Structures are given as C-alpha cells and as structure tokens.
Structure 1
Amino acid sequence: MGGSAVTPIFTALLYLGLCQRQCNQIQAGTLPKPFIWADPGTIITMGRPVTIWCQGSLQAESYHLYKEQVSQLLGMWVAWNFRDKARFSIKSMSPNSAGQFQCIYNSSSGWSERSDYLQLVVTGMYSKPSFSAHPSPIVASGGNVSLLCNSKDTMDTFHLLKEGGAGPPQHRESRFSAGRHQAVFPVDSVNISHGGIYRCYGSFRFSSHVWSHPSDHVDLKVTGTFEKPSLSAHPGPSVTLGENVTLQCRSESWCDTFHLFKEGFIAPPQHLHWQNNTGPFQVNFTMSLVNSVHAGTYRCYSSHSTSPYLLSQPSDPLELIVSEAANTTSLSKHKPDFKSASNSQDYTVENLIRMGMTGLVLVVLVVLLYQS
C-alpha cells in the first residue's frame, strides 16, 4: 500500500432510489477486483469504531462501498483520494452498521470487478451464553474434546471463535435440550494448533450479523509436548481435617510454569510461575484448612510461558485423603462408664448395710443369752 495516508472526502448517497439508479448503471468491469478488510477486525463490540479499507489501483479515481442485505443494495459511499486505497469509517458500531459489504473502484479504463464479501458483525446485543469444555479443557494430543455453548434464551445459532485464530468463526444451529438451547462444537484429533482461548456467541437467524455478548472464555490446553513432572504431598498424602498440606510439582527439565489439576473438577487448573532463577524447577501449591472438598486425585503439568497452552505429559496421579480429626468410636471405648461406676458404688453400700444389720442381730442375741 504505497503513498502517505490522506483523509478521504466522503460523499454519502442516502436515498435508496439514487443509489439504485447509479448502482444499476455500474456493471462489473475487467479491472482486477480490489481487496477489502476491516480494522481492527470483522467482529466489533457495540459502540466501538471500525474502519473498512478497500485497496485497488494507483490509477483508481473513486472507490464505492456497498452494503447488501437479501441481495438488495441499501447504501453506497464514495471516497475520493486518488490513491491505491480508500478508507470508510464507522464511528460507532450498531446493528444497522453490521452486514455484508463489497467495494469496487473505477478509473479511466472503466470499473473493476467487485471485491470478495466482507462480513461485519456487531456483538453485545443479547445476554452472554454459557460455555464449557467436556470432558475437560485439558486434552491430550490426539484426543477429542467437545466445546458446549448454551443459553436459556431462544437463540437459534451459536458461533465459536478462537482468539487470535487464523480461521473464520464456526457456526452451529442450536438444539433444545434440558430446558436450554445449545450447540456442540467437536474438536477431534487435537494437536498443538488447537490450544488457545475460545469464546462463543449466540444470534438469531433473522439477524445473523448481530451477536450476543461473548461468553466467558475457555482456555484449551494440549498436553504431551514435554516430559512429565513429579507430584508429591508434604507432609504426606493423608491429611487430617483442618490441617494444611502442600503439593509440590517438580520438573527435571527447564520450565517456568506449573499447573495443578484435580480430576473431575470443572474449574480451571491452578497455575504458578517458577520464581527461583537458580534453584530447582518446582513450585508449591499450598492448601490451608483442608476439608472434604480437597480430597481427590491430582496431577500436575509443566509448560513454558512462551507457549502457555502447550503442556507437558501429566505427572503420575496423587490421591489426597482427608480424614476426620478423631475417631469417635475408639474414643467411646475408652470413655469412663460413669453409670457402671455409680451402680457398683450403690451395691457396695447395700452390702455394708446388710453386714451391719447382721452384726447388730448377733450382738442382741448374745446379750439375751447372757441375761438368761
């Protein structure tokens, strides 16, 4: 794209009749078609600005931008700048700004062919859908995972987008199940290119360029890139309720990030960065005031901060056992039996009374015999 940036002069043809008359006169020519793109991208949040660029030829005299819907021209803008490209600015993105665009240019030789279509989407119109990875956002290389997007709203289409991804968004029609509208995006034979941040959006068929707020993100991590670290518990894997325990993840090869994952736990794994630049490659995950929720099977992974979504092979599993503070059954065996002791004391008093009465009777008998 040669030449310095020059602010173009825009002429807006706002009346549909005028646009249609001129559009009908413009026939696709033999000049090469221009290239069309949007900056910062084609998926724009409501209210944010966006610029549509059309690049043609240095001999271009004018550029025309068309927005189409149901094969009908709705508007046309003309930018005069006598350069190899033209800029068309949208200051505040709205549902009316979204849609399908093409551009052409003309010169003394005639008109160019139309550019490819540019799909411009606005987001933030509806409430965000829910988004999750099944069975887990941590996937072994070569394995399979399903990304589930769902909403209680009656959205009939869902869109899957990978941040920074080179490919276009994926689209799936929704299905109603368990009281929600949902779509499943399967990812088969996972490889390192699948690692990254994913979000999903919902929309309605009658306005396919108007999407919901983005879902919460899912970080898809691919394992098996590096050798497995080791995982150990200190002071041990058996912990008493209310105590503290530390799970130490250690690697023999260089790495600067460690991830702790609990099997069957939906929440994303914990991660810590290696801080000691001279010591061993290890970090400590400390759990305070352990309760029954902490019990389970853990694994850890290592990674490099330059490739945060590529993890090592998993460590060997470590089962954390949480037991109660004391065994009430064994305590009851050693508890003094106050009732039994009381009964024994009562029996002793009775025996003493009986012996006393017997002795008194014997004394009376002796006295009577002596007097006689």
Structure 2
Amino acid sequence: MGGRASTSVLTVLLCLGLCWSLWNQVQAGTPPKPSIWAEPGPVVTKGSPVTIWCQGSLRAEVYHLYKERVSIPVETETPQDSSNKTSFSIESVSSHTAGLFHCAYRTSRKGWSERSDPLPLVVTGAYSAPSLSAHPGPVVASGGNVSLWCSSEVTSGTSHLLKEGGANSPQQMELRIHNGRWQAVFPVVPVNTSHGGTYRCYGSPSSYPYVWSQPSDPLHLEVTGVYREPSLSAQPGSLVLSGDNLTLQCLSEAGVDRFALTRDEGLTPLQHLHGQHSPDFPLGHVDHTHRGQYRCYGGYNLSHVWSAPSAPLDILIAGMYKKPSLSAQPGPSVSRGENVTLQCRSEIWSDTFHLSKEGSPAPPQLLRLQDTAAPFQANFTIGPLTSDHEGTYRCYSSHSTSPYLLSLPSDPLELRVSASHSKDYTVENLIRMGVACMILLILGILLFEAWHNPRRS
C-alpha cells in the first residue's frame, strides 16, 4: 500500500512540475501577434487621409508600424492609458504611401511581439480610369451568365474588381489583349441575388501592384426573375393618337414598392432599370418617339433584385398617314349567328392593317398582306356574331418597317347585330289547312256517291 501511495504522489509532483515549466515558458515567450486594419478602409484615394490601427495588449508600452522593404519602423506610437490599441494617422496618402504594412508592440516582461498579418494599403487615382462593361448586358435573369469586362490603358498589369459594400476582397485578374485592347474578363456564372449591386474596376501596373488607377464609372448589375411578374396596362389604351396623353401602369403583388419601366430596343440588351415608388408612368403627350414594346418590373426597397418582366405591351401611335376607309359586307346590320366581313382599304401603299373596337380592352386585330400589290386592303371576318360584337369599329393602316406607327383612324363604322329573322307562317298554314279541308270534302262527296250508285243499279 505504502509503495503505491508513494508512486501516486510522485506522479502528481511530476505533472505539477511539467505544468509549471510550461507556464513559465508561456510567460517568458513572445507576446501574441497583434491585429491591424485601416479606416475608412484599405483602398484610399490619392490625397485622402487614412488611419492605421494596431491592436495588441493592455501591457503594451510602445507600438511600431513597419512597411515592407523598409528595415526600420516608419512610425512609432505610445498607447493611451487603459487601451490595448493605438493608431497611426496619415493625413494625405500618395503613391509612395501604398504598400504592405505590419505592426508590432513591446511589453516590459516579454519584449517584442510577432508582427501582425500584412495590411495591403492601396492608393487609387494614379492613372486614368479604365472602363467597365457587362456582356451581354447589366440586366440579367437569375441563373443566367454575365461577364464583366474591365478595359484599361495600363499594360502588363492587373485589373481589380470591387463591389460596393461587398465584404469580400477585390477580385483580381491579369490584363490580356482582347480585340486589340488590354482587358480583364470577370465571369459571373450562374448569376444569383447576391451578385446584384454596384461594381467598379481599377488597373495597376505589375511593378507597382498597390498603386491603382482612378475607378471606372459605376456599373449596376441588376438581377431579374426573382419575384412573380407584374402586369402592364395603358390608360386610356395601347392605341393612341399622336398628341394624346398616355399613362402606363405596372400592377404587382402586395408589398412591392419599386417599379421600373423598359422599352425594347431591338437586339440591344437592356442596359438599366431605373426604379420609382409609383406604379404609374405618365408619358404625357405622345408622339412617334413613344412607339414600341414596353415591359415593367417590380422590386423591394433599394436592392438590385427584381421580378420577372411583365408580358410585353405594344404602344401604337396613330396619325402618321392618311386615313383608310372601312366598310362591312354584306352590310353593317347583321343577324345573330351570321358572319360579317369588315374591309379596310388604303389609298396609299400599306401592307399591315389594324382593326379596333371602341371601348374594348383587347389590343387591335392585325392582318399583314402577303401580296403587297394594289389594291391595299384587308378583310377582317367576324362571326358567328353575338350581341358582344355590336359597337363602333375603326381601322388603321401601317408599314411593316414601322409596325408601331399607324395612319389616322378610318371613319367609324357602327355594327348592329339583330335577332334571327323568324318568318310568320300563320296565313300560309291557314290556307294550307283550308285547301286540305276542301280536298277532304271533295273526296268525301265522291266516296258517298260511289257508295250509293251500286244500289241504284
């Protein structure tokens, strides 16, 4: 028993001795590495102030700021009382300020700490600004692909892409010659909501990687297709005379507080979405410049994320050419259930015709001629007719080369639908019944005579 107790005591003493030795080593070792950062940030415009902070220990007596490739400290500061950090202020940065910085501190017991991790301090504005563009365009559907191209005058260097408010470090890409220009291509695939925002790019030469150019103009990357599409309507309608007032209205699901209106520009990709808080877009007194196909989007707050686009709405501007004529075959008064043909005829060359009904929310009917030789006319067949087809009709002519510019409206044509013609057969039926009765009477007489004649004989 005594031997076992002695062994246990010896083991405990050895453990205590080992722990005490380790503790002494920790106490006598190097102080913990400090942390370093810059305010307002590590990317500073030339001529602006910046403050570099170094955070170490409450026991620190002095802090040193080091710059890479400089053997001696560039700054020395004494911390304020009861503070574990100090600051190094630079009133106006220049190209010579840019570079990698470290800091370290000293305590009376342990001496100097390790140097902090490096802080890259970038100075911008040393060279002319590059240009930043998005391909195929800055408005891209969620799940799609887009590339951001930074074109710079700096050669044999690096392009840097920054997102405004982004927590990540700048993306870097080596400049290469594309289509005769020094460019860097930053692919964004596939696009999601986190990619929406404002981007800028910079260029820097290989020999001075922390001295950057001026920033490019901002590029706003908009992500669509995240919410349900709204609906777009026109008041008083999508077909208006030049000079009339027109308002487009974008209606979306509850809670949407930002709306954007776009007009298709052919094969040119959409370049921007300018949001507003009102769903109404007054276009004022319209003219030929307002023609085209429109869509709208809905979004929330001030984000760069939007709904899917609404269905397209064609805005047709009338009054550009001489009016056509409108007639009805066989006539403007037609029985219910029958068909009628409304013929629109133009005296000038036209290959497209439009038929509209006054007060109808539906877009005008459209017919395009296959044979563009004279006469220039189109036949709109309507039927079988019901009371819903009654109303006032007008037609317009246009050219396929300018599909949204229409002629003046034709004179109105009033289409009337009457009940089916039911002929009164009362008199005819009475006559038929009279004739039948006479025939029966004659037959009866003949039969009666034939009955009595044998008896006489």
Query: Could you tell me the TM-score, scaled by structure 2's length?
Result: 0.59
Instruction: Please state how far the C-alpha of 1:219 moved relative to its aligned partner.
Output: 1.5
Percent identical residues: 51
Q: Counterpart of 1:150?
A: 151
Post-superposition offset of 1:289: 4.4
1:46-85 alpha-carbon deviations (Å, 9 max, x no partner): 111000000000011111111114xx53752111125311
Relative contact order (C-alpha < 8 Å, sep 6+): which is higher?
A: 1
SS in 1 for 2:71: strand
The corresponding residue for 2:169 is 168
Contact kept in structure 1, 2:298 and 2:307, CA below 8 Å: yes
User: Counterpart in 1 of 2:32?
Assistant: 32
Residue 178 of structure 2 aligns with which residue? Answer: 177
After TM superposition, list the pairs within 5 Å mapping 1:1-372 onto structure 2.
30-69=30-69, 73=71, 75-81=73-79, 83-107=83-107, 108-152=109-153, 154=155, 156-238=157-239, 245-263=246-264, 264-274=268-278, 282-286=279-283, 289-291=286-288, 294-305=290-301, 307-321=302-316, 325-326=320-321, 330=346
State the SS of the aligned residue for 2:129: coil
Q: Is the 1:153–1:180 contact (alpha carbons within 8 Å) kept by the matching residues of 2?
A: no
Could you report, residue by residue, the CA deviation over 1:93-150 in whole angstroms, capped at 9, with x for unpaired residues? 1101111101111112122111111011111111211112222222222222211111
**Following TM superposition, by how much is the alpha carbon of 1:258 offset from its aligned partner in structure 2, in angstroms?**
0.3
Q: Distance in 2 between matches of 1:332 and 1:299?
A: 33
Instruction: Determine the C-alpha separation between the residues in 1 that align with 2:156 and 2:248.
Output: 44
SS at structure 2 position matched to 1:224:
strand
How far apart are the structure 2 equivalents of 1:173 and 1:327?
Answer: 61
Give the counterpart letter for 2:78 in structure 1: W
Task: Output the CA distance in 1 between the equivalents of 2:60 and 2:49.
Answer: 26
Q: Is the 8 A contact 1:68 1:74 kept in 2?
A: no
Structure 2: tracts of 5 or more residues without a match: 1-28, 325-345, 350-457
Q: Secondary structure at the match of 2:303?
A: strand
SS for the counterpart of 1:61 is strand
Asked if 1 retains the 8 angstrom alpha-carbon contact of 2:247 and 2:280, the reply is no
Contact 2:139 2:270 in 1 (8 A): no
SS of equivalent residue, structure 2 residue 194: helix
- Aligned equivalents of 2:98, 2:230: Cα separation in 1: 49
Consecutive unaligned residues of structure 1, counting only runs of 5 or more, are 1-28, 275-281, 334-372
Q: For 2:48, what is the secondary structure of its paired residue? A: coil
What amino acid maps onto 1:317 in structure 2? P
The AA in structure 1 aligned to 2:214 is H
SS of 1:211's partner is coil
**Aligned mates of 2:72, 2:244 — CA distance in 1:** 69
In the alignment, the residues of structure 2 paired with residue 189 and residue 221 of structure 1 have an alpha-carbon distance, to the nearest angstrom, of 14
